[in-house]
Amino acid sequence: MPEELEFEKPLLELENRIAALRASSDPLAARDEIAALEDRLRRLQQRTYASLTPWQRTQLARHPKRPHTLDLFRLLLEDFVELHGDRLYGDDKAMVGGLARFEGQSVVVIGHQKGRDTRENLARNFGMPHPEGYRKALRLMKLAEKFAKPVFTFIDTPGAYPGLGAEERGQAEAIARNLREMAGLRTPVIAVVTGEGGSGGALAIGVANRVLMLEYAIYSVISPEGCAAILWGDATKAPEAAELLRLTAPDLQRLGVIDGIVPEPVGGAHRNWEETAAALRQALRDHLWELKGKTPDQLLSARYEKFRKIGVFDETGARKTSLFPGERAR
């Protein structure tokens, strides 16, 4: 994926002009022009990012410079100790996790991990876990439950790996087991979609008391390209599919799928990792404070009710009215 997105080109042209003037032999002489260009840039940024299409948000969610899970661990946590392996088959580098401290509180953290370059992406399988990745995640969640530690999960995956070896080792079973076991975890669980939230591969660490999304993240049952290929036999219609999937944070909050949106810097999280982490820290702190006051039974009951409400419909006579906009009534 190119680092320069098509819809950002006018912004980048202005940024480059400003940088060139600042690097000139006499930047003081150009300060009025620089100030005018900066004001123009700010106004253009506000207009551009206030009216992003779902496909443009998808592109931002996949941006190669976006902070990944281990980057956020470094910015949010202290004393992180990574734990490896599922105690059954091996270690999966597409799923990372371990013990850490968050503002003095001992926590267990888990998340998908993508790579920065081709070599790392191959090692991390482009953030697509095998069954052993999900079993490792479950092992860590059970450890958290045993020692009464809150769980933070960070979701950023195109989906679970669909390869032959993964299927032979029980990919579907591993995901299904995580869904069941997470529903019954007797400890606070907070999930954050930080980039891509792709299908069951995302949901397998997303059954939480609170589900948050970064502002330009996406969360969907299928990728726009996959949806377009199925509906129209043409993956190039992904922008149209993105419109229909309701995969953006505002759409999902409106539908009750997520509980909150964490704001990103203007232009996206890749523009300022520290600012992104600061906003996420505040959100995690607030939600963890609320959940820590609940008993294990209350946590389980609230988690169950949260997910049972998703997709509820009203019945009027024989007519069923879906709560999902854009879907035809049945």
Tell whether 313 is covered by a domain. Answer: no
Residue whose C-alpha is closest to residue 163's, from 98, 107, 232, 94: 94
Mean pLDDT of the chain: 90
> For 272-297, what is each residue's pLDDT tens digit?
999 999 999 999 999 999 999 999 99
Alpha carbon distance 115, 198 (integer Å): 17
Q: What is the pLDDT of residue 325?
A: 46
CATH number at 204 reads 3.90.226.10
| Mean pLDDT value across residues 4-33 | 77
Tell whether 323 is covered by a domain. Answer: no
**Are residues 170 and 275 located together in one domain of the fold?**
yes
**Are residues 109 and 29 located together in one domain of the fold?**
no
**Are residues 237 and 281 located together in one domain of the fold?**
yes
Give the whole-number percent of the chain exceeding pLDDT 90. Answer: 76
Q: What is the pLDDT of residue 269?
A: 95
> For 231-254, what is each residue's pLDDT tens digit?
999 999 999 999 999 999 999 999
Q: What is the pLDDT of residue 36?
A: 84
Q: Residue 39 pLDDT more than 90?
A: no
Q: Residue 152 corresponds to which tokens in the numbers above?
A: 């933070």
Q: What's the gap between Cα 8 and its chain centre? A: 22
Residue type, 323: L
> For 124-155, what is each residue's pLDDT tens digit?
999 999 999 999 999 999 999 999 999 999 99
**Are residues 113 and 210 located together in one domain of the fold?**
yes
Alpha carbon distance 118, 260 (integer Å): 33
Number of compact structural domains in the chain: 2
Q: What is the pLDDT of residue 329?
A: 44
Q: Residue 23 pLDDT more than 90?
A: no
Q: What is the pLDDT of residue 317?
A: 54
The answer to whether residues 252 and 206 touch, using CB atoms and an 8 Å cutoff, is: no
**Are residues 128 and 22 located together in one domain of the fold?**
no
**Are residues 123 and 244 located together in one domain of the fold?**
yes
Q: How confident is the model at residue 17 (pLDDT cuts 50, 70, 90)?
A: confident
Residue whose C-alpha is closest to residue 276's, from 97, 109, 63: 63
> For 76-118, what is each residue's pLDDT tens digit?
999 999 999 999 999 999 999 999 999 999 999 999 999 999 9
Q: Residue 172 pLDDT more than 70?
A: yes
Residue whose C-alpha is closest to residue 182's, from 157, 154, 205: 205
Q: What's the gap between Cα 314 and its chain centre? A: 30
CA angle 67, 209, 108 (to 5 degrees): 55
Tell whether 242 is covered by a domain. Answer: yes
Domain encompassing residue 257: 58-308
Alpha carbon distance 27, 9 (integer Å): 24
Q: Residue 6 corresponds to which tokens in the numbers above?
A: 């098509």
Tell whether 315 is covered by a domain. Answer: no
| Mean pLDDT value across residues 206-232 | 95
**Are residues 12 and 66 located together in one domain of the fold?**
no
Q: What is the pLDDT of residue 25?
A: 67
Looking at 1-94, which runs of residues are DSSP E strands? 78-82
Q: Residue 199 pLDDT more than 60?
A: yes
**Are residues 43 and 165 located together in one domain of the fold?**
no
Tell whether 318 is covered by a domain. Answer: no
Tell whether 70 is covered by a domain. Answer: yes
**Are residues 288 and 152 located together in one domain of the fold?**
yes
Looking at 209-301, which runs of residues are DSSP E strands? 210-214, 218-220, 260-262
Tell whether 148 is covered by a domain. Answer: yes
Kindly report whether the global pTM for this prediction surpasses the value 0.95. Answer: no
**Are residues 46 and 73 located together in one domain of the fold?**
no
Residue 51: Cβ within 10 Å count: 9
**CA quadruple 165, 171, 174, 180: dihedral, nearest 10:** 180
Tell whether 330 is covered by a domain. Answer: no
**Are residues 221 and 81 located together in one domain of the fold?**
yes
Q: What is the pLDDT of residue 237?
A: 94
Residue type, 59: Q
Residue whose C-alpha is closest to residue 185's, from 193, 177, 175, 194: 177
Q: How confident is the model at residue 327 (pLDDT cuts 50, 70, 90)?
A: low
Residue linked to tokens 């888990």: 110
Q: What is the pLDDT of residue 77?
A: 97
Q: Is the dihedral of CA 44, 282, 200, 84 positive or negative?
A: positive
